[in-house]
Amino acid sequence: MKDPQNINEVASLAPDFLGFIFYKKSARYVDEEIVRKTLNQLPSNIARVGVFVDETVEKVMEICNRLGLSHAQLHGKESPEYCTQIQKAGISVIKVFHMGETFDLDQIKPYENCADLLLFDTKTKGYGGSGKHFDWNLLNTYTSAIPFLLSGGISAEDISKIKELQIPQLLGIDVNSRVEISPGNKDLNKVKELILKTREG
């Protein structure tokens, strides 16, 4: 998210997380000053997430500490050692894995002691924002104790199917393109509908 008014409006819907992308090649890239000014107005119970792609450890820690971000969502090729350094700085790690037509779940094992959450997203040429699902059946054999978020083209229409997934570690969803008017500008009605459907029942 990158527009102060839109950020505040979405925050009023009480999501669990709000994410801010600090990857300059992304159409959703946000200016640090906008984030700094906006965060002061947000409810304290909303987790603040900085999204990074192969940024230096020092830069991630600097941005998170300066802006008071609770989580670093890592979309690149960050190593377990990298994630450990972020955690030791008191920042929770969300490590992202990009799912193609196949995926070897053994790839997550090296991260089991250095990630607080995992996130599974659709594999694209870029880093997210595809608006497309991957085959959720790839996660049927997920056995790690680490909770995870599901991402990749999710909208309110998908919530019933997601709730049918019998995977105890599935904690929630991460959404972007399917609830947007334009990159970084969320459609409030779509976000509200999605939140209501996610929390009902």
Q: What is the CATH number of the domain that holds 22?
A: 3.20.20.70
Instruction: Give pTM, 2 decimals.
Output: 0.95
| Tally of structural domains, the chain | 1
**For 116-153, what is each residue's pLDDT tens digit?**
999 999 988 766 556 789 999 999 999 999 999 999 99
Please state the rounded mean pLDDT for residues 50-73: 97
Instruction: Note the pLDDT of residue 132.
Output: 85
Q: Please name which of 121, 69, 68, 74 lies closest in space to residue 93, comparing C-alpha atoms.
A: 74
Average pLDDT, the chain: 93
Query: What is the C-alpha separation between 162 and 149, in angstroms, rounded?
Result: 11
Query: What is the C-alpha separation between 73 and 160, in angstroms, rounded?
Result: 26
| Domain boundaries, position 12 | 4-199
Instruction: Note the pLDDT of residue 119.
Output: 98
Q: Token digits for 64?
A: 């998170």
Query: What is the C-alpha separation between 189 and 197, in angstroms, rounded?
Result: 12
CA distances from 89 to 111, 163, 174 (A): 17, 34, 24
Instruction: Note the pLDDT of residue 128.
Output: 55
Instruction: Note the pLDDT of residue 166.
Output: 87
Instruction: Note the pLDDT of residue 2.
Output: 87
Please state the rounded mean pLDDT for residues 84-105: 96
Indicate if the pLDDT at residue 177 is higher than 70: yes
Query: What is the C-alpha separation between 96 and 53, in angstroms, rounded?
Result: 10
Total Cβ atoms within 10 A of residue 137: 8
Instruction: Note the pLDDT of residue 201.
Output: 65
- As a whole-number percent, the residues of the chain with pLDDT over 90 amount to 87
